[in-house]
C-alpha cells in the first residue's frame, strides 16, 4: 500500500498531524496497534493549558515563565514561547471541530489550576478531557478521508540507500508482516512509562515501540533518564487519579488525617514527598470529601467512578489511598523545532518526541497542548517533504526478516512466562530506577535488564494461533521495553546530578556546570551505546560535545562504566 504520509499513533498529536498533512491533498493513513481510545491522550483526563483571558489573572508571559521554570534548566525558551502563544488558537480550533469545554456561568471557558502554577490556566471537560478531544479529532479525520488502520502494530522503518522508503507492520488479525510505502513518516506513538508495569498509569502496551524503532534506525534519543511519576494513583493498580482533583481543592493527608505537603507543587517534588512519607511508615490518602457531592458529580465524575470500581471507595465520604506511579516519559526521539529527526522525511511529535518544552520536568496540562501544537507542525512539514520526494523501493529482504522473527516467536517452545517477566521488570525499575535513584540501585536495575535480555530468546507463544494473538504482541513489546529500559538506565547512570524528575540520592544537587544540558543516546551496534551531553542554541542546533561515553552492554558480569 502506498501513502504520501503515514502517521504512527492515534493520540492527539498523531490526529492533529494527520489532519494538517491532509490539508495539502495527500493520501494519509493513521496507524494504531489497537483501538484509538487506548492512546495515552484518550485517558488524559485533567485538561489542556492555555491563557484565555489576558485581562484577568494570567498572561501568556506567565505561562511561558512557568513552563520554562518547570523544565529545570533544560527547556528551549523560544520553543516554549511559540507554543504558549499558539495555545489560545489551539483551544479555538478544538472548539470549531466540536470540542465542548466546560463553561462558567457567563459562558466563557472554565479553567482550573494545575501543579507548578497557581493560575487557573487548564481548560477541561469534567475529568475526561483527552477522550473528548480524541473523539472529535477522530470524527474529523474520518470526515476528511484519512484512513485509520487500527490493530496494525508498527515494527520498523524500511530504508533504501539509507533513506526512508516505508515501514513494516504486523497485521494483528492474522499476524502477517506487511510493508507500507510512504514519502513522509510521522512518529507519534506515545511514550514508555508502561515499562514500569504494576507501577504505571499507562497501559502495558506503552513500552516505547516507536522510540525503540527510531533507535534501531539510527536516530538519536534524548533525555531518556527523565520519567515523570504522577503523585496520585491508586495504591494497588496504578490507576490515575487526575490532577483535576487537586485542582478542584482535594488535599493529601496521612493516616492521622494530617497534611504534610503542598498539593499544587510540581509533580516531581510531590511524588518525592509522598514516597518519602510512605518510606517513613505512613499511609497516604487523597481527601476529596470537603469538595461535596455536587462538585464531585459535576467536575470529577470519572474519578468517583474509577475509585468505586477499582478500590471500592466512595470519594464523597471516604479517603482514597494513593501512591506515585510512572506516568509520562519526558525523554524520547530527538527532534528539531520543526519536528524533524535525524532521518530525512521522518518527523516526531507527542510523548515519543523530545521537543524541548518539558526539559527535565513536565507541568500538568502542557502535554495535550504540546501534542496539538507539534502535531500541527509535523503535519505541515511532512506535507512539504512530500512535494520534494518520490516513493523509494521497499527492501523486501527486511520484510522477510521481520516475518521470520514473528514465525520464530510463534513456533518456538515457551520457556518463560511473559507476564511474570514484565511484572518483574516493572518492580525492579520502580524500586531501583524510579522516584529515587543512586548508582548502586541503577547498576542493580541494569544487571537485571541484562539478565532479561539474555533470557528473551526463550520467549515464545504458548498459543500458536495467528489470529489476534495477544501473546505475540506482548512478547514483541517486551523486547522493545528491554531496549528502552537499558537506554533509560544508562542515561540515568551518567547524569550524576538531580534535576527535575531525575533524583539521584548520591548526587542530590543540580549541577549546571557539567550536566546543564540534554543527554543523547545513540545505538552504535546491538551491544554498544553512546551517551553524550550536549548544549543547544534556541534553534536546537547542537554543539559543544562534553562527557562522551561509550557504554558497552555487559551480559557477563563486567563493569558497566
Under DSSP, is residue 366 helix (H, G, I), strand (E, B) or coil? helix
Under DSSP, is residue 249 helix (H, G, I), strand (E, B) or coil? coil
Residue 411's pLDDT is 94
Three-class secondary structure assignment of 396-452: HHHHHHHHHHHHHHHHCCCCCCHHHHHHHHHHHHHHHCCCCECHHHHHHHHHHHHHH
- Specify the DSSP element, H or E, that contains 77: helix 77-96
Task: Count Cβ atoms below 10 Å from residue 311 Cβ, excluding itself.
Answer: 19
Residue 358's pLDDT is 96
Residue 203's pLDDT is 85
Asked if residues 200 and 325 have their Cβ atoms less than 8 Å apart, the reply is yes
Q: Assign domain 227-327 one CATH number from 3.10.105.10, 3.90.700.10, 3.30.565.10, 3.40.50.920.
A: 3.90.700.10
- Specify the DSSP element, H or E, that contains 123: strand 120-123
Residue 333's pLDDT is 98
Residues with Cβ within 8 Å of 114's Cβ and at least 6 positions away in sequence, in order, are 46, 47, 49, 121, 122, 243, 247, 264, 363, 364, 365
Whole-angstrom distance, CA of residue 151 vs CA of residue 24: 27
Task: Count Cβ atoms below 10 Å from residue 400 Cβ, excluding itself.
Answer: 11
Domains 1-226+330-561 and 227-327 share a fold: no
Local structure of residue 357 (DSSP, 8 states)? S
Asked if residues 39 and 501 have their Cβ atoms less than 8 Å apart, the reply is no
Asked if residues 349 and 355 have their Cβ atoms less than 8 Å apart, the reply is yes
Asked if residues 258 and 103 have their Cβ atoms less than 8 Å apart, the reply is no
Segments of the chain with pLDDT less than 70: 536-561
What are 4's strand-pairing partners? Answer: none
Whole-angstrom distance, CA of residue 279 vs CA of residue 277: 5
Q: CA dihedral in degrees (93, 96, 102, 108; nearest 10)?
A: 80
CA atoms within 13 A on the CB side of 73: 17
Whole-angstrom distance, CA of residue 502 vs CA of residue 329: 11
Burial class from Cβ neighbours inside 10 Å (0-12, 13-18, 19+) for residue 63 reads buried
Domain assignments of the chain as residue spans, ordered by start: 1-226+330-561, 227-327
For domain 1-226+330-561, say whether CATH 3.50.50.60 is its number. yes
Q: Which residue numbers are catalytic?
A: 267
Amino acid at each position: 500500500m502506498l501513502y504520501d504520509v503515514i502517521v504512527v499513533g492515534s493520540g492527539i498529536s498523531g490526529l492533529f498531524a494527520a489532519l494538517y498533512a491532509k490539508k495539502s491533498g495527500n493520501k494519509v493513513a493513521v496507524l494504531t496497534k489497537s483501538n484509538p481510545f487506548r492512546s495515552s491522550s484518550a485517558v488524559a483526563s485533567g485538561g489542556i493549558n492555555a491563557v484565555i483571558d489576558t485581562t484577568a489573572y494570567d498572561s501568556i508571559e506567565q505561562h511561558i515563565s512557568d513552563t520554562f521554570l518547570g523544565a529545570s534548566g533544560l527547556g528551549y525558551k523560544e520553543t516554549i514561547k511559540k507554543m504558549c502563544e499558539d495555545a489560545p488558537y489551539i483551544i479555538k480550533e478544538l472548539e470549531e471541530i466540536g470540542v465542548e469545554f466546560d463553561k462558567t456561568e457567563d459562558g466563557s471557558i472554565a479553567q482550573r489550576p494545575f501543579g507548578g502554577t497557581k493560575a487557573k490556566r487548564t481548560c477541561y471537560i469534567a475529568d475526561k478531557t483527552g477522550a473528548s478531544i480524541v473523539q472529535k479529532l477522530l470524527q474529523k479525520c474520518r470526515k476528511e478521508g484519512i484512513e485509520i488502520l487500527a490493530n496494525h502494530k508498527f515494527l520498523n522503518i524500511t530504508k533504501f540507500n539509507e533513506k526512508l522508503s516505508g515501514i513494516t507492520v504486523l497485521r494483528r488479525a492474522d499476524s502477517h508482516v506487511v510493508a507500507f510505502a510512504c514519502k513522509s513518516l510521522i512518529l507519534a506513538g506515545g511514550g514508555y512509562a508502561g515499562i514500569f508495569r504494576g507501577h504505571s498509569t499507562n497501559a502495558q502496551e506503552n513500552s516505547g515501540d516507536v522510540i525503540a524503532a527510531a533507535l534501531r534506525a539510527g536516530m538519536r534519543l534524548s533525555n531518556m533518564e527523565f520519567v515523570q511519576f504522577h503523585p496520585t494513583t491508586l495504591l494497588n493498580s496504578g490507576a490515575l487519579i487526575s490532577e483535576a482533583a487537586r485542582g478542584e481543592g482535594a488535599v493529601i493527608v496521612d493516616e492521622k488525617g494530617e497534611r504534610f505537603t503542598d498539593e499544587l507543587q510540581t509533580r516531581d517534588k510531590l511524588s518525592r514527598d509522598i514516597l518519602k512519607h510512605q518510606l517513613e511508615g505512613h499511609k497516604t490518602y487523597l481527601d476529596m470529601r470537603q469538595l461535596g457531592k455536587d462538585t464531585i458529580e459535576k467536575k470529577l465524575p470519572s474519578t468517583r467512578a474509577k475509585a468505586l470500581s477499582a478500590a471500592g471507595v466512595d470519594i464523597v465520604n471516604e479517603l482514597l489511598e494513593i501512591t506515585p506511579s510512572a506516568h509520562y516519559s519526558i525523554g524520547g526521539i530527538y527532534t528539531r523545532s520543526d519536528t524533524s529527526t535525524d532521518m530525512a522525511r521522518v518527523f516526531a511529535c507527542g510523548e515519543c518526541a523530545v521537543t524541548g518544552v518539558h526539559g527535565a520536568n513536565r507541568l500538568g496540562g502542557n502535554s495535550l497542548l504540546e501534542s496539538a501544537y507539534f502535531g500541527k507542525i509535523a503535519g505541515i512539514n511532512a506535507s512539504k517533504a512530500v512535494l520534494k520526494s518520490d516513493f523509494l523501493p521497499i527492501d523486501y529482504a527486511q520484510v522477510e526478516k521481520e516475518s521470520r522473527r514473528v514465525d520464530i516467536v510463534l513456533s518456538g517452545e515457551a520457556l518463560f512466562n511473559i507476564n511474570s517477566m514484565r511484572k518483574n521488570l516493572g518492580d525492579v525499575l520502580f524500586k531501583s530506577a524510579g522516584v529515587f535513584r543512586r548508582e548502586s540501585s541503577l547498576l542493580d536495575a541494569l544487571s537485571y535488564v541484562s539478565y532479561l535480555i539474555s533470557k528473551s530468546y526463550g520467549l515464545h507463544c504458548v498459543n500458536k494461533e495467528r489470529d489476534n494473538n495477544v501473546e505475540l504482541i506482548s512478547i514483541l513489546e517486551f523486547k522493545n521495553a528491554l531496549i528502552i529500559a537499558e537506554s533509560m538506565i544508562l542515561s540515568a547512570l551518567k547524569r550524576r546530578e538531580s534535576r527535575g524528575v531525575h533524583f539521584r540520592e548520591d548526587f542530590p544537587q543540580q549541577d549546571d556546570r557539567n550536566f546543564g544540558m540534554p543527554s543523547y543516546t545513540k545505538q552504535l551496534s546491538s551491544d554498544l551505546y553512546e551517551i553524550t551531553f550536549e548544549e543547544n542554541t534556541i534553534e536546537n542546533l547542537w554543539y559543544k560535545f562534553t562527557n562522551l561515553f561509550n557504554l558497552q552492554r555487559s551480559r557477563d558480569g563486567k563493569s558497566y562504566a
